[in-house]
Structure 1
Amino acid sequence: MSTEDGPPSEQRPSQVPSTGTMLVDTSRRDRVGEFRGVAGPYWSLRPVSGGAEWEAEPANVREPSPIERLRAEIARCNARSEGRIL
C-alpha cells in the first residue's frame, strides 16, 4: 500500500458538512458513513450501505481517502444489487 492510499491525517472538516457527505469515524476503527445531521455536540452518521445511524464526535471525524471512498461506493452498489437498500 502506498502512502497515498492511507487515511489523510489532517483532512478534518472545518465546519458542519452537507447532508450525505461521506466521512470516516476514527473512533470506530475508521468506519465510513454519510453525514445525516447534528445531534447536540455530536454528528450523526449512517453506514453507506445502509443500517443504523451512530453518533460521532466531530473531533474524531475526517474525510475519506480515495480508496476508502471507493470501497464505500462499492459496498453501496453491492447492497443495492442485493436488495438491501434502495
Structure 2
Amino acid sequence: MIEEDPGVPEAGTYAVDYRDGSVGQVMGCEGGLVQLRPLGGGREWDCPPESVGEAPAGDVLRERVRRLNRERRLP
C-alpha cells in the first residue's frame, strides 16, 4: 500500500511525476506503481514510486490555472 512507503505521497494528495514534470492527484497503488490522475480529471497514468514526489503548492496552483485557461479557450 502507498501509506506504508514513506517516500510515496498518500492517496488524495497531489504529486509530481519527475519523469516529465506532470502534476496529478494520487489515486492509489496498483502492481507496484503509483496511479496519478490529472488535476482536471481524465485518464490516470502509472508512475514508478521512485519517480513520484509530493507536489509543491505552487505547482498544483499553476496546473489548475493552466487547466482553467484551456477550458476558457474552448468554444
Distance 2:16 2:44 in 1: 13
In terms of fraction of residues, the more strand-rich structure is 2
* Structure 1 segment 1-86 matched on structure 2, within 5 A: 14-27=6-19, 29-75=20-66, 78=68
- Aligned-residue RMSD, C-alpha: 2.3
Which shows bigger deviation, 16-25 or 45-54?
16-25
% of aligned pairs identical? 34
The superposition leaves residues 45-77 of structure 1 with CA deviations (integer Å, 9 ceiling, x where unpaired) of 00011110000001000112232121133345x
Unmatched 5+ residue regions in structure 2?
none
Question: What TM-score does the superposition give when structure 1 sets the normalisation length?
Answer: 0.63
State the number of aligned residues.
Answer: 67
Runs of 4+ off more than 6 Å: none
